[in-house]
Amino acid sequence: MNSSKSIEPLFKPFKLGNLKLKNRTVMAPMTRCFSPNGIPRADVADYYRRRVENEVGLIITEGVLIEHPAAGAEHDVPHFYGEEALNEWARIVQEVHEAGGKIAPQIWHTGMARQKEKFPNSDANSIGPSGIDFNGEQVSEPLSGEEIHDLVKRYAQAAADAKKIGFDAVEIHGAHGYLIDQFFADSFNKRKDEYGGDLVQRTRFAVEIIKAVREAVGPDFPIIFRFSQWKLNDYNFKLAKNPEELKSFLTPLVEAGVDIFHASTRRFWEPEFEGSDLNLAGWAKKLTGKPAISVGSVGLNAQLTRDLQQTTKENNPTAYLDELMHKLDSGEFDLIAIGRALISDPDWVTKIREGKTKELSTFTKEDLKTLV
Ligand SMILES: Cc1cc2nc3c(=O)[nH]c(=O)nc-3n(C[C@H](O)[C@H](O)[C@H](O)COP(=O)(O)O)c2cc1C
């Protein structure tokens, strides 16, 4: 990757309505647990600003908690409610804008991924569509209709606050087996009411959230929806087994108001279904006509494994970059999110643009301890 022509696709501007990005790079949402008592301080602003100063087009923040006692599954994850946390987020937005970047919060509820006794508000029960945990056991009551309506409002409130304090878009975390995704997956969702049933019926909770968010933010504020096939407890899980199923899953989400799909995969170069090279983001774009963000091991050939460290020695930070440029150039997807490479190299985008690939670092698990 040293001829400037070959990296051109990554550096083309992107525009969707009022959202104008200087290039196609997105920082993937990555939980940091560096916000004591849920309040992000100046170090969080520094962390994001460093990436923006190094040309990242759009920051998607670490997952931030909507206002619900059982939303978080770890300590020191930032809140997205309460005056103190929101004032700090407003400052972070301002710093990102001053550095010339754009930023969207990823709004999150962990649902049954939270082990009640270990985490904040241990007296509050973990919640999920059917109260089924990651071991497949029913450990709490299924959510009532009233509780579901209340949760929908809380997502909408978070989105309204995002707009109010100056964010450029909002990302709804519908991936990886957390609350929204638990409604999608029949292993978690055994409901017999209107929130359960076939794949399309299981989109209802997400649909209500997206509609409520749209109503809260108005027509021009971009809604990004992150989804995945894989779950925290099952990397091989397939929500949609073929393009037809994927289409039936995504269509209600589009109709509800999604502007951009963020298809979370662990390796962006892997085809999603047999018979085509398209990856999951490529299929999402083809089936819905909406712009798509892809992700997965950009600048790495390490897998995202449970211990986040498949290999360090064999790792090659420039692996698959040609493939990435080809996919961007062909319009298979529009934007590419970069996770771990941006942890180990805050200046990853600058290094790529300047052809300094020899200076790229190798991501290791040690990088996760400081996350600066
Ligand atoms: C430390 C860490 C924290 C993460 N936290 C989140 C998160 O809060 N929300 C989310 O949707 N994905 C999260 N992910 C997944 C990343 O957004 C991304 O999809 C994944 O790391 C693959 O991209 P990469 O191979 O470029 O790292 C996390 C990944 C890592 C490594």
* Nearest atom of ligand 1 to the alpha carbon of 299: 26
Q: With 60 as the cut, is the pLDDT of residue 4 above it?
A: no
Q: How many domains would you assign to the chain?
A: 1
Ligand 1 site: residues with CB under 6 angstroms? 28-31, 62-63, 106, 173, 175-176, 226, 264, 295-298, 300, 304, 308, 338-341, 368
Catalytic residue set: 178
The confidence score (pLDDT) of residue 5 equals 56
Q: With 80 as the cut, is the pLDDT of residue 291 above it?
A: yes
Domain that holds residue 210: 4-370
* Nearest atom of ligand 1 to the alpha carbon of 175: 11
Q: What is the phi-psi region of residue 308: left when phi exceeds 0, alpha when psi lies from -120 to 50, beta otherwise? A: left
Q: Which two tokens stand for residue 316?
A: 């090659």
The confidence score (pLDDT) of residue 64 equals 98
Nearest-CA residue for atom 30 of ligand 1? 30
Query: For residue 31, how far is its CA from the centre of ligand 1 (angstroms)?
Result: 7
Nearest-CA residue for atom 5 of ligand 1? 30
* pLDDT-derived band at 310, boundaries 50, 70, 90: very low
The confidence score (pLDDT) of residue 301 equals 59
pLDDT tens string 319-346: 788 899 999 999 999 999 999 999 989 9
Query: Percent of the chain at pLDDT above 90?
Result: 81
The confidence score (pLDDT) of residue 122 equals 87
- Separation CA 138–CA 132 (nearest Å): 4
* Nearest atom of ligand 1 to the alpha carbon of 28: 17
Contacts of residue 83, defined as CB under 8 A and 6 or more positions apart, other chains included, come to: none
CATH number of the structural domain spanning residue 352:
3.20.20.70
* Rounded average pLDDT over 276-284: 98
Q: Which of 30, 224, 311 to mutate to test the pocket of ligand 1 (most atoms within 8 A of CB)?
A: 30
Which amino acid makes up residue 1? M
- Separation CA 195–CA 323 (nearest Å): 40
- Separation CA 160–CA 140 (nearest Å): 30
